[in-house]
Structure 1
Amino acid sequence: MNRQMCWLSKSSGDGEKVLYLQVEANKGWRPYTAYPQFAVPDYQIPGGSKGWATYQRLLKAGWTLVSTARANEFSTQVEYSESMVQNQ
Structure 2
Amino acid sequence: MVKQMCWLSSFGSNEHKMLHLRTSPYEAWRPYTAFREYAVPDYPVPGGSKGWATYQKLRLSDWVLVPSDNETMDYKAS
Structure 2 length-normalised TM: 0.87
Q: Does 1:47 align with 2:15?
A: no
Q: Which has the larger radius of gyration?
A: 1
Which is further off, 31-40 or 3-12? Answer: 3-12
Matches within 5 A, 1:1-88: 1-72=1-72, 75=74
RMSD: 1.4
Higher percent of residues as helix: 1
Structure number with greater CO (CA < 8 Å, separation at least 6) is 2
Query: 2 CA distance for matches of 1:43 and 1:66?
Result: 23
**Unmatched runs of 5 consecutive residues or more in structure 2:** none
Q: What amino acid sits opposite 2:58 in the alignment?
A: L
**Unmatched runs of 5 consecutive residues or more in structure 1:** 76-88
Structure 1 length-normalised TM: 0.78
Identity, % of aligned positions: 49
Corresponding pairs, count: 74
